[in-house]
C-alpha cells in the first residue's frame, strides 16, 4: 500500500470508493492496523471515499521516537489530509482512534462534517495501568507483544464470539503480535496522557458514540459521559466487547452508515 510522507513520519494509507465522494477517515485502535475496518469498507465505500491509515507506530507507518501524544496523532491526520488536498471530512475512530476523534472535534471542528467515537472514553485507564504496560512491553519486547496477543482476545471480544469465530478473532489479535514494541509503548503514553473530560463541550460536529455493552475496557458509562458533554450527541450500544465494529458486524456498519449519511 502507498504511504504519505509528513514532516517526521510516513503514514501507510489506503483509499476505497469514488474519488468525488465525501471523505470518511477511519482510525484504528491501539495495537491494530487499518485492516481492523475490513468488514466496513465495502458498505462505506458505496457512499464515501474511505481513507484508512495506520496510526504512527502501527502497521506499515513509521515508528518514530516516543512517547507520542494524541495531539501529535491528531496533527498526523490533519497533515495527511492536507497532503491530499482534503479540507472537510467525516471521522470514525475506535478506542485510541476515538481519542484522536475527540481531539479533532475540540481543535479542528470546523473541518469535521460528522464524528463517530467508538468504544472510547474521555479518559481511559490510569497512569499506573499504562506505565506498567509500557514498562512490560519495553522489557519483554516481541515476546510481550505475543503474550498480549493472546490476552487481548478476552478484552476485545466476548467469550461467546471468540469461541464461535476463532479465525476472525485470530486475524484481529494477530495485529497486536506484529506491532512494534516501541510504537506500541509510545502510543500507550499518548492514551495515558489524554484527558478530554473538561473539553468535550467544544465539540460542535454532529456526533455518534458507539459502545459495547460487554466492553471491559471502555464501558457504556464512558460513552454516556461523552454523550452528556457533547451537545446533541447520539449513543448506541451493541452486545459486544471492545472491538464492536468486528463483533457487531453488519449492525455496527448499518448504524454508523445511517448516521454518517445524515
CATH no. for residue 212? 3.40.50.1820
Listing DSSP states for 117-150 in one string gives EES--SS-S-HHHHHHHHHHHHHHTHHHHHHHHH
**Domain range enclosing 201:** 3-260
Number of domains in the chain: 1
Q: For each of the chain's 262 residues, which pLDDT tens digit applies? A: 899 999 999 999 999 999 999 999 999 999 999 999 999 999 999 999 999 999 999 999 999 999 999 999 999 999 999 999 999 999 999 999 999 999 999 999 999 999 999 999 999 999 999 999 999 999 999 999 999 988 899 999 999 999 999 999 999 999 999 999 999 999 999 999 999 999 999 999 999 999 999 999 999 999 999 999 999 999 999 999 999 999 999 999 999 999 999 9
- Kindly report the number of other CB atoms within 10 A of residue 5's CB atom: 11
226: nearest Cα among 262, 185, 194: 194
Q: Does the reported pTM lie above 0.85?
A: yes
Amino acid at each position: 500500500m502507498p504511504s504519505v510522507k509528513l514532516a517526521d513520519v510516513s503514514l501507510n494509507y489506503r483509499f476505497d470508493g469514488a474519488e468525488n465522494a465525501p471523505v470518511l477517515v477511519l482510525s484504528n485502535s491501539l495495537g491494530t492496523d487499518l485492516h481492523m475496518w475490513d468488514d466496513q469498507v465495502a458498505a462505506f465505500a458505496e457512499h464515501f471515499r474511505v481513507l484508512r491509515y495506520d496510526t504512527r507506530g502501527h502497521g506499515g507507518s513509521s515508528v518514530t521516537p516516543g512517547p507520542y501524544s494524541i495531539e501529535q496523532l491528531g496533527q498526523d491526520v490533519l497533515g495527511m489530509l492536507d497532503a491530499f488536498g482534503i479540507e472537510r471530512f467525516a471521522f470514525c475512530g475506535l478506542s485510541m482512534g476515538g481519542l484522536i476523534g475527540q481531539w479533532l472535534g475540540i481543535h479542528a471542528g470546523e473541518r469535521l462534517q460528522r464524528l463517530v467515537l467508538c468504544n472510547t472514553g474521555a479518559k481511559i485507564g490510569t497512569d499506573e495501568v499504562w506505565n506498567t504496560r509500557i514498562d512490560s512491553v519495553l522489557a519483554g519486547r516481541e515476546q510481550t507483544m505475543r503474550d498480549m496477543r493472546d490476552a487481548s482476545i478476552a478484552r476485545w471480544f466476548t467469550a461467546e464470539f471468540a469461541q464461535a469465530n476463532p479465525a476472525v478473532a485470530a486475524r484481529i489479535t494477530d495485529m497486536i503480535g506484529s506491532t512494534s514494541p516501541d510504537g506500541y509503548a509510545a502510543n500507550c503514553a499518548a492514551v495515558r496522557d489524554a484527558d478530554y473530560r473538561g473539553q468535550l463541550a467544544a465539540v460542535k460536529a454532529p456526533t455518534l458514540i458507539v459502545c459495547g455493552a460487554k466492553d471491559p475496557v471502555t464501558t457504556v458509562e464512558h460513552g454516556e459521559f461523552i454523550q452528556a458533554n457533547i451537545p446533541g450527541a447520539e449513543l448506541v450500544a451493541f452486545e459486544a466487547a471492545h472491538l464492536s465494529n468486528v463483533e457487531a458486524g453488519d449492525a455496527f456498519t448499518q448504524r454508523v452508515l445511517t448516521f454518517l449519511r445524515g
